[in-house]
Amino acid sequence: MLVKNREQVVMKAVEMDDTQDVQMAVLIGDDEGAPNFIMRRFEVQSGGHTPYHTHDWEHVVYILEGSGKLVGKGVERTLKAGSSLLVSPNEEHQFRADKDSGLTFLCSIPKR
Amino acid sequence: MLVKNREQVVMKAVEMDDTQDVQMAVLIGDDEGAPNFIMRRFEVQSGGHTPYHTHDWEHVVYILEGSGKLVGKGVERTLKAGSSLLVSPNEEHQFRADKDSGLTFLCSIPKR
């Protein structure tokens, strides 16, 4: 068993096209011996966003702090602390932090 | 994409041997179309605990609120809000809430 406290987690800027003010850290992944899926922590600063994109794996997400929007093809859903969500494989999606609030969430993905 | 807010989540008592004051809800699972792994929310009341047991799948966990202990074979680790952890397949484990605090966490498992 492996326990990682908050103080041990180092957030790093996400360098991708169409990305603004997003930091990420892998919490439980390959380095920790995750067998099947990986849990990451994301922090989006107020007004920031992840890329609007799609891929063939899912996201299983839990909102820890802040508020924002999950944007998809013709759809926009409100996110707040305590929301959980599924983005299915091949669904277009983007996470946006509200202008007056950051958005911090866990996002798990299958190992590939 | 599917978003579930905190108010939609109904916690239910976990009825297992060697379990005290534990409630659980599936956040993203079969009913929500989870392809590969399932995210559940657990609430352990102060002084309560999950069973001390083992199984051949892993737990990927994030502590949301409260404090407690992760107990294993000859090992005890402190848990607090913001801790993340991995229990590997076939590791003996138990989650215990501290006597003066509940323990609320997310626990994800692979689909079987």
Confidence bin at A105 (pLDDT 50/70/90)? very high
A85 at interface of B, judged by CB pairs closer than 8 A:
yes
A106 at interface of B, judged by CB pairs closer than 8 A:
yes
pLDDT in tens, B61-96: 999 999 999 999 999 999 999 999 999 999 999 999
Residue with tokens 């913001």: B82
Average pLDDT over every residue of A7-22: 97
Whether residue B16 has pLDDT greater than 90: yes
CA distance B106 to A82: 11
Across the A/B interface, how many CB contacts are shorter than 8 Å? 122
pLDDT on residue B27: 98
Whether residue A101 has pLDDT greater than 90: yes
Residues of chain A neighbouring B108 (CB-CB closer than 8 A): 37, 39, 60, 108
> How near does any CA of chain A get to the CA of B1, in Å?
5
CA distance A25 to A10: 6
Q: Do A3 and B37 touch (CB under 8 A)?
A: no
pLDDT in tens, A42-87: 999 999 999 999 999 999 999 999 999 999 999 999 999 999 999 9
Terminal CA-CA length for chain B: 23
Residue type (1 letter), A107: C
Whether residue B112 has pLDDT greater than 90: no
The interface predicted TM-score of the complex, written ipTM, equals: 0.97
Chain A interface disruption, residue of B50, B86, B87, most A CBs within 10 A: B86
Q: Which domains does chain B have, with CATH numbers?
A: 9-110 (2.60.120.10)
pTM of the predicted protein model: 0.98
Residue with tokens 């590939």: A112
3-state class (DSSP) for residue A101: coil
